[in-house]
């Protein structure tokens, strides 16, 4: 092997003996070189060590940035396509039954017009998945925004008022939390037997004017409102339309009074439905739905439980630990600097930069849950709320099944007429269509929501492991 002056060699074996060292030059040639020709010094090695550390860090970061850019490009493409999909998907649900009509009269005392298909034109259709609600031509959505402190009674009583902006009118209306609560009560009373009406975010008395609380509540109110907007029956109901589009206080108050006097509530809702389809036995479906909603409820609660534990750890003790590790490295670096011993600046620099990196890691770790886990938890909280509605809906259904089962005995015992038995059976069939439409609505939303939340969560996690500057 030939060696030139100034050339750097990699030492392969020092133990050759006789004043020779086995080495490799940059062209890959190996051979023996006289020790005296080689200069190996500690400082070069040490600075080389730190250079390697810096290079490793920088390379890692560079790679990360490349991956992130590619990721973002892909995400944008997916978003585009998702947008098309979601619209297409929801239109498809409607199938061919798209000439249904909603009765828009709201005469006091009338029991018609508050539920789908009251005019007999069919409230939904039979898609590939079975019965579905009739979805409106253009989907409704809304924004809850701009929380403002208001006051009443010459400032004695203060409250927070939110702006609610529906996509239908684009005109903001103001509502306080108690109005949302009122709306919830009306929807629950009217549709609760057939439709999952999840509860509002918890009431809270202390700290309810703190910014973080207000933001959190607003976010959840918006989540709740958007879910209600997505429900084809709820979004087309009078009370919901009133809440979103009232023109002035007079209309709001009048509408409120009317809604409170509405008697077409509870199980009455099924009397207003007419699926105009053959009678259907629902026991099997009922049992499938019972099992499914119970199992999903367990699954969601499990995920929420561990997610909340993980949240606490990731925002509390874990970053505190990284912070303390960082501090410990930096402290040790300071101590070492004070040794008075020569030639350890490479070591103290490495310790300081490791310490600084750990403090950055602490921050990234602490902030990360807000970026990905938050949405995963919020979505699962929403679903916990939705799933909490099914036991009631299913119990109503179960009672009707039992009643029909006993129908023949009751007729034989002369306790009901044959006509009454037939009506009971028809009603159960109607309830079965309703239950299936509601479950199919739930499933299609569930698939959409969980696809989205998993996508965002995993993207967030990928970004996290890329951002860690190690």
Q: Least distance to a copy of itself from the beta carbon of 281, Å?
A: 16
Which residue, 425, 422, 434, is CA-closest to 393? 434
Q: Least distance to a copy of itself from the beta carbon of 457, Å?
A: 8
Q: Which of residues 340-359 bind a copy of itself (CB under 8 A)?
A: 340-344, 346-347, 350-351, 354
CA pseudo-torsion sign 153, 157, 158, 163: negative
Rule CB under 8 A: is residue 45 a binding residue for a copy of itself? yes
Q: Least distance to a copy of itself from the beta carbon of 325, Å?
A: 5
Q: Least distance to a copy of itself from the beta carbon of 122, Å?
A: 22
Q: Which residues contact 49 (CB under 8 A, 6 or more apart)?
A: 346, 350
> Residues 150, 159: contact at Cβ < 8 Å?
yes
Task: Identify the three-state secondary structure at position 154.
Answer: coil
Both tokens assigned to 150:
């208001």
Chosen residue from 160, 332, 410, 416 binding a copy of itself by CB under 8 A: 332
Q: Which of residues 260-299 bind a copy of itself (CB under 8 A)?
A: 288, 291-292, 295-296, 298-299
Rule CB under 8 A: is residue 20 a binding residue for a copy of itself? no
Both tokens assigned to 407:
């129908």
Q: Least distance to a copy of itself from the beta carbon of 367, Å?
A: 17
Tell me, residue by residue from 120 to 149, as one string, x for binding to a copy of itself by CB under 8 A and - for no binding.
--------xx--------------------
Task: Measure Cα distances from 323 to 61, 286, 328 in Å.
Answer: 21, 53, 9
Among the candidate windows 164-172, 250-258, 416-424, 441-449, which touches a copy of itself by CB under 8 A? 441-449
Q: Which of residues 56-85 bind a copy of itself (CB under 8 A)?
A: 56-57, 59-60, 63, 66-67, 70-71, 74-75, 77-78, 80-85
> Residues 379, 296: contact at Cβ < 8 Å?
no
Rule CB under 8 A: is residue 54 a binding residue for a copy of itself? no
Both tokens assigned to 179:
């109005």
Rule CB under 8 A: is residue 161 a binding residue for a copy of itself? no
Rg (CA), the chain: 34
Query: How, if at all, do strands 20-24 and 10-17 pair?
Result: antiparallel
Q: Which of residues 168-227 bind a copy of itself (CB under 8 A)?
A: none
> Residues 326, 355: contact at Cβ < 8 Å?
yes
Q: Least distance to a copy of itself from the beta carbon of 303, Å?
A: 4
CB count, 10 Å around CB of 242?
20
Distance between CA 395 and CA 408 in Å, rounded?
22
**Nearest CB to a copy of itself, comparing residues 88 and 412:** 88
CB count, 10 Å around CB of 388?
15
Chosen residue from 167, 247, 309, 417 binding a copy of itself by CB under 8 A: 309
232: left (phi > 0), else alpha (psi -120 to 50), else beta?
Answer: alpha
Chosen residue from 179, 313, 371, 374 binding a copy of itself by CB under 8 A: 313
Q: Which of residues 371-390 bind a copy of itself (CB under 8 A)?
A: none
């Amino acid at each position: 092997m030939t060696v030139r002056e100034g050339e750097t060699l990699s030492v392969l074996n020092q133990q050759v003996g006789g004043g020779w060292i086995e080495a490799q030059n940059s062209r890959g040639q190996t051979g023996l070189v006289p020790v005296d020709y080689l200069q190996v010094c500690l400082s070069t090695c040490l600075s080389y060590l730190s250079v390697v550390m810096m290079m490793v860090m920088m390379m890692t970061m560079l790679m990360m940035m490349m991956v992130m850019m590619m990721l973002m490009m892909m995400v944008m493409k997916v978003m585009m396509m998702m947008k098309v999909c979601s619209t297409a998907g929801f239109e498809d649900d409607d199938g061919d039954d798209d000439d249904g009509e909603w009765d828009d009269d709201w005469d006091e005392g009338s029991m018609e017009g508050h539920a789908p298909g009251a005019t007999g034109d069919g409230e939904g259709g039979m898609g590939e998945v079975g019965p579905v609600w009739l979805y409106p031509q253009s989907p409704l959505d809304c924004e809850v925004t701009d929380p403002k402190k208001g006051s009443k009674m010459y400032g004695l009583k203060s409250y927070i008022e939110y702006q609610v902006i529906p996509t239908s009118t684009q005109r903001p209306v103001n509502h306080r939390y108690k109005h949302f609560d009122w709306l919830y009560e009306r929807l629950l009373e009217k549709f609760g037997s057939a439709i999952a009406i999840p509860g509002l975010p918890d009431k809270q008395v202390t700290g309810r004017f703190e910014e973080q609380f207000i933001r959190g509540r607003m976010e959840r109110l918006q989540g709740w409102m958007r879910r209600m907007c997505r429900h084809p029956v709820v979004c087309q109901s009078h009370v919901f339309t009133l809440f979103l589009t009232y023109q002035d206080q007079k209309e709001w108050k009048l509408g409120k009074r009317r809604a409170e006097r509405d008697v077409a509530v509870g199980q009455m809702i099924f009397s207003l439905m007419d699926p105009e389809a053959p009678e259907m036995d629902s026991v099997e479906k009922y049992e499938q739905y019972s099992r499914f909603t119970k199992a999903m409820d367990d699954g969601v609660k499990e995920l929420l439980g561990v997610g909340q534990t993980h949240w606490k750890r990731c925002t509390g003790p874990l970053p505190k630990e990284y912070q303390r590790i960082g501090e410990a490295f930096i402290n040790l670096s300071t101590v070492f600097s004070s040794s008075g011993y020569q030639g350890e600046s490479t070591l103290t620099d490495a310790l300081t930069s490791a310490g600084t990196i750990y403090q950055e890691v602490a921050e990234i770790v602490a902030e990360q849950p807000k970026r990905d886990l938050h949405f995963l938890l919020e979505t699962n909280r929403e679903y916990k709320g939705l799933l909490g509605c099914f036991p009631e809906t299913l119990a109503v259904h179960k009672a009707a099944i039992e009643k029909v089962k006993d129908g023949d005995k009751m007729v034989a015992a002369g306790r009901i007429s044959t006509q009454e038995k037939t009506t009971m059976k028809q009603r159960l069939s109607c309830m079965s269509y309703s239950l299936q439409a509601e479950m199919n609505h739930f499933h299609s939303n569930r698939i959409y929501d969980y696809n989205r939340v998993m996508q965002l969560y995993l993207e967030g996690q990928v970004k996290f492991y890329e951002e860690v500057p190690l």
